[in-house]
Structure 1
Amino acid sequence: MLPDIKIAHLRTFITVAEYGNFRRAANILCRSQPAVSLAIKQLEQLLGADLFDKQKQAQLTAFGNSFLPQAKNLYQQYQDTLTSALQIAQAKTGTVRLGVLPSVAKHFLSDIMRRFMHLHPQVELQVQDDNGDNLRNKLLGGHIDIAVSSIWQHEPDIEHRHLCSDSVGLVGIAEHPCLQEHKIDWYHISQHRLIRNGTTPLINNTLAHAFMQAPTQITNMASLEAVLSAGAGITTLPWLAFPKDNSTLQFRVLEEGSIQRRIALMKAREAHQLPATHALEAVITSLFSNAIESLGHAYLSLPIATKK
């Protein structure tokens, strides 16, 4: 069994060896000279060999000279390990893996990154954008730490904090017959060529079940936008996912049977989070509250409990 050598023993030995004087070492260590001498004696007993020449007190023995670089390396490792642990505990270092919906990333990611990197410049932030199903699987698989995603259904293994909601509306060219109607509902929509997309599961268990039986599905947003712009069909999208810079397309919320997408901050229920992850959660929660109010659009809303 190895001897129980304490870090204080090593520090005392290194200090005496470097200064070549027990009294000076005692001053540096803010200890009495007898306490320093006792620590050296204890270390020698634990090692089973003298570190200093008994006739020339502060002069190292051959064993002491051999042990000194090893003691320094061990003490440096201790300092480095403790410093790293403290920095991680104080959210000064570490790695955080964030998953985010593309529509959320488009509007909020730059502000999230800017604020978090300003507050925690030494923390590595890894971002993955993906659809809601994949983000869920990545959370449960431990591939990301937290996600900003849609709440589609109850997930017993995932905790979530509601951040905001945006309206799901009909999207197509302005000239499309369905969008020309004074009032539109899901029955009228079902009579036209429908295109499913990555957000279509949002309308599960709603009056929009006809969308689930549409024969066409396009999951890539750029391809979907091109097809819609050509007038080849209509689809549904949440407001934040709607390409607002495309003047060809129009967004209409249904007068009857309207649907809201709930966006939440999510994490696996059993996961143990680093302090840096909690710091990112705080940044995201604060930013959403302020950003949604500043956008002030009728198709966006905060949870009732967070409204100012």
Structure 2
Amino acid sequence: MLRCFRAVADHGSLADAAEVLGRTSSAVSMMLRQFEDHVGAPLFESTRKSRLTPLGELILTETNRELSHFERTVAAIEGLSRAEMGQVRLAVTPSVAQVVMPPILQGYMQAHPGVGIDMRDTDSASVQRELTAERADIGMASVGHMPGFERHLIFTDRFGVVCPVDHPLAQNWAQLTWKDLEGVDFIANGLCDFITDEGFAPIMAASRLNVLNTASILSLVRGGVGVTLLPELAVLPEFLDLKFLPLVDTSARREVWMVTPPSHMLTPAAQALTRAILNANIPVTHG
């Protein structure tokens, strides 16, 4: 009724309004009459519908305001359904945030300019907690099976010892084994749990320092507090003061999984980002 009234007011005749609305003149006339009956007063000064009454002028103002609001609401709903609008919450490990996500987010944000991204980088255990507490739509970390969630393997990379470039371990690493780490101050972290080699157990047992945050771990290594064990992508190429020494007597690799609620529970914007991640050419190591 509001659209019919506005069309007649804008065009000044039933015939022109009917053409715009794709209806017959009689149908438009009937709907306008029902609207005036509902209001309880005439909205036009004559049957020609060329001039509004004072009440009609006031109602036209409200009609335009209401139809504009309705059209914005419909556009927002359609935008959400087409992943053109919305918000996606990510919880990822630091190396994923630094190495994996930049090119993915660049392409995604260009394709979905109306979608906001909230990404926080943290350790794998915290990523799992964020997902469980429904504070994240997508998690990317080294996590095991989580009941009620979908999991996709994204990439793997090898583990290695990280130390300053001038550390004695870096001089002749190719011939060294776990035993050569005995007696060296070692900084433990959550990823050490993925190394199950018997030779690594005494090193972990002797460690007096356990740190979760990767940036803090690397700062401690730079400061000479000790060496640590990290996956290769955690040590960026621009870290020229640090050395990544691949382990020579273990086949253990870090596995990074994308974990989400079931696809049908994700918003279209989040579904689109999961597809972008799965289709991405992610830099993995093959050593």
Shorter-chain TM range is 0.7 to 0.9
Which residue identity lines up with residue 298 of structure 1 in the other structure? H
Matched, 1:253 2:253: no
Q: 1:255 to 1:16 in 2, by over 3 A?
A: same
- Distance in structure 2 (CA, Å) of the matches to 1:137 and 1:86: 32
Which residue identity lines up with residue 168 of structure 2 in the other structure? E
1:15 deviates by 0.8
* Pairing 1:1-308 to 2, within 5 Å after superposition: 9-53=1-45, 57-151=49-143, 153-173=144-164, 174-176=167-169, 180=173, 182-185=175-178, 189=181, 192-203=184-195, 207=198, 208-210=200-202, 212-213=204-205, 214-229=207-222, 231-247=224-240, 249-269=242-262, 272-287=265-280, 290-292=281-283, 297-299=285-287
User: What is the DSSP-based 3-state SS (H/G/I as helix, E as strand, rest coil) of the residue aligned with 1:176?
Assistant: helix
- Distance in structure 1 (CA, Å) of the matches to 2:49 and 2:24: 16
1:180 deviates by 4.5
User: What is the DSSP-based 3-state SS (H/G/I as helix, E as strand, rest coil) of the residue aligned with 1:31?
Assistant: coil
Which residue identity lines up with residue 209 of structure 2 in the other structure? T
Once structures 1 and 2 are overlaid, which stretch shifts more, 29-38 or 270-279? 270-279
Which residue identity lines up with residue 43 of structure 1 in the other structure? F
Which residue number corresponds to residue 305 of structure 1? none
1:165 deviates by 0.5
Which digits, 9 at most, give the CA deviation of each residue in 1:179-222, with x for residues without a partner? 6472413x65455432113533444x664444554211234445
User: What is the DSSP-based 3-state SS (H/G/I as helix, E as strand, rest coil) of the residue aligned with 1:83?
Assistant: helix
Once structures 1 and 2 are overlaid, which stretch shifts more, 95-104 or 240-249? 240-249
Seq. identity, %: 27
User: What is the DSSP-based 3-state SS (H/G/I as helix, E as strand, rest coil) of the residue aligned with 1:45?
Assistant: helix
Once structures 1 and 2 are overlaid, which stretch shifts more, 219-228 or 136-145? 219-228
1:271 deviates by 8.0
- Distance in structure 2 (CA, Å) of the matches to 1:109 and 1:121: 17
Which residue number corresponds to residue 6 of structure 1? none
Q: 1:160 to 1:206 in 2, by over 3 A?
A: farther
- Distance in structure 2 (CA, Å) of the matches to 1:10 and 1:88: 26
Which residue identity lines up with residue 23 of structure 1 in the other structure? A
- Distance in structure 2 (CA, Å) of the matches to 1:178 and 1:190: 17
Q: Is the 8 A contact 2:139 2:260 kept in 1?
A: yes
Once structures 1 and 2 are overlaid, which stretch shifts more, 219-228 or 76-85? 219-228
Taking structure 1 as the reference length, the TM-score comes to 0.79
1:146 deviates by 1.1
- Distance in structure 2 (CA, Å) of the matches to 1:259 and 1:14: 70
1:87 deviates by 1.3
Q: Is the 8 A contact 1:17 1:58 kept in 2?
A: yes
Give 5+ residue unaligned stretches, structure 2.
none
- Distance in structure 1 (CA, Å) of the matches to 2:185 and 2:94: 25
Q: 1:11 to 1:176 in 2, by over 3 A?
A: same
Name the Cα RMSD after superposition. 2.9
Q: Is the 8 A contact 1:148 1:266 kept in 2?
A: yes
Give 5+ residue unaligned stretches, structure 1.
1-8, 300-308
User: What is the DSSP-based 3-state SS (H/G/I as helix, E as strand, rest coil) of the residue aligned with 1:256?
Assistant: coil
1:111 deviates by 0.8
1:104 deviates by 1.6
Q: 1:206 to 1:51 in 2, by over 3 A?
A: farther
